Every structure is written in structure tokens, then in C-alpha cells.
Amino acid sequence: MPAPNPKENLLLASLSSAELKRMHPHLEPFPMPLGHVVYESGRILDHVYFPTTAIVSLLYVMENGASAEIAVVGYEGLVGISLFMGGETTPSRAVVQTAGHSLRLAAKYLRTEFSRAGSMQQLLLRYTQSLITQMAQTAVCNRHHSVDQQLCRWLLLSLDRLPTLELVMTQELIASMLGVRREGVTAAAGKLQKAGVINYSRGHIKVLDRAKLEAMSCECYQVVRKECERLALYPTVK
């Protein structure tokens, strides 16, 4: 497993050379296998994680075991905002949704850098706001949009955080992220496949027509993307 380059994470790449120089010695490679729980609800974090190739889902698991994704974090962001927001913990869980690499940074170094009130602080706060937008839009989407539309939104959000047009992801997993039944995902994915938008096969999804996927999605994807671009924080779109 090659050591990930800090420049692969957009937040780290945005740092000034002086800042990056200070952080670099403390950034340690951290592998993220599929399904790994990066943090558990209520646990106190001792690191923040900057994904490079991995994708992490923030999700809330209810008392009865049902779950729902709150937001998704890829190479454009970081996992563990509660460390600098001052809350220490959050009631949600972070799970690796796509295996890959990340860099992690011990809490004390992050706090030190944050308290310098420099561009790192600004960057982290701006990123947090983009995360807030994503959460808000998730709430709206959960309220008003069909499973079909939500699947499109979800695929696009994942796609933007991946180097290729292929996702490794079972319908069961997508269902648990969206908080719907697996059968609902099967039905929605079936429609997309018939429309020639994707190709699904035993946990491998190839996106064939991204433009059509965007057209079939609800407005929520575009809102999040536009807002993040405005904040100069969005992954490049392939």
C-alpha cells in the first residue's frame, strides 16, 4: 500500500507551504478498509482523518438498528470536525463506504494549528459549512424526493469523490445508507439500468451516462455541488 500524498486531499492541498510544512511530520498514513468504523457515536476522537482515496459516510444508527446517511466525506474533506468545533464527540457514526487511503492527524496538532487562527482555521470552518449544507439538503431530500431520485443523488455524490466511473457497492449497502429497503434500491437501479444510465452487476456499478444521471436526480445534488464550488471546496467533476 503506497503512502498517500497529502496533496491528494483537497484540504491539505489548499494549505500554504508553511502550514503544510508544520503539519507534514504529524500526518500518518491510515488505511481505510471497507466497513471500517472510523468513529463510533459518542466516542472521543483522538485523530482527524483526511481521506485521499477512501470515501467515508457519516450516518446515524437508530435504537432499532435502522440507519440513515447524514453526509459523505471524500478527498475534499475531513472526518472529525467535532474536534475543532469543541464538542469532542457527535451522536453519529463514520463508516468507510469505499475502501482506500487517508492521512490522519493527532488531535493536539490539529488544535494547535486551528488556534493559530490562520488560513487552516478558515479552511476548516468553510468546509464545516459545506458539510452543513450537505446535511440540510439530505434532510430536505429525505422528506420530499423519491428513492429513484435519491439514488441518483447518492451515486453522483460518490462519483465526484472517486477517480473512475465505477463504484464497488452492493445494493444492500446503498439501502442502508439511504435508509430504505434493499428492494427499493433494486427497483430504482433497475430503472436506471433500463434507461442505459448504469450497469449493475454483483456489487459493481458502472456509470455509463453521467449527464442523464444528473438529469434524473433531484435538485439536491446540484444545490450541494454549487454551494461547495462557491466555497471553493468541491471535487472536480469528471
Measured from the CB atom, the residue of 3 and 66 that comes closer to its own copies is 66
Answer for which of 190, 196, 226, 230 binds DNA (CB under 7 A) is 190
90 binds, among DNA, its own copies, none (CB under 5 to 8 A by kind): its own copies
Among 100, 113, 93, 205, residue whose Cα is nearest residue 159: 205
Answer for which of 77, 179, 184, 235 binds its own copies (CB under 8 A) is 179
How many residues does the structure list for the chain?
238
Answer for which of 19, 34, 36, 128 binds its own copies (CB under 8 A) is 128
- Cα(first)–Cα(last) distance of the chain, in Å? 25
CA 115 – CA 27 distance, rounded (Å):
18
Residue 88's φ and ψ, nearest 5 degrees, are 70, -45
131 grid coordinates: 458539510
Beta strands at 37-39 and 28-32: parallel, antiparallel or unpaired: unpaired
With binding defined as CB under 8 A, does residue 86 bind its own copies? yes
Among 29, 14, 19, 8, residue whose Cα is nearest residue 114: 19
Smallest distance from the beta carbon of 107 to its own copies, in angstroms?
15
171 binds, among DNA, its own copies, none (CB under 5 to 8 A by kind): DNA
Q: Which residues of 70-107 are buried (b: 16+ CB within 10 A; e: fewer)?
A: bbbbbbbbbbbbbbbeeeeebebbbbbbbebbbbbbeb
Please list every residue from 13 through 42 that binds its own copies, using CB under 8 A.
none
Answer for which of 138, 149, 158, 171 binds its own copies (CB under 8 A) is 138
Answer for which of 183, 196, 206, 215 binds DNA (CB under 7 A) is 183
Smallest distance from the beta carbon of 97 to DNA, in angstroms?
14
With binding defined as CB under 7 A, does residue 146 bind DNA? yes
With binding defined as CB under 7 A, does residue 35 bind DNA? no
200 binds, among DNA, its own copies, none (CB under 5 to 8 A by kind): DNA
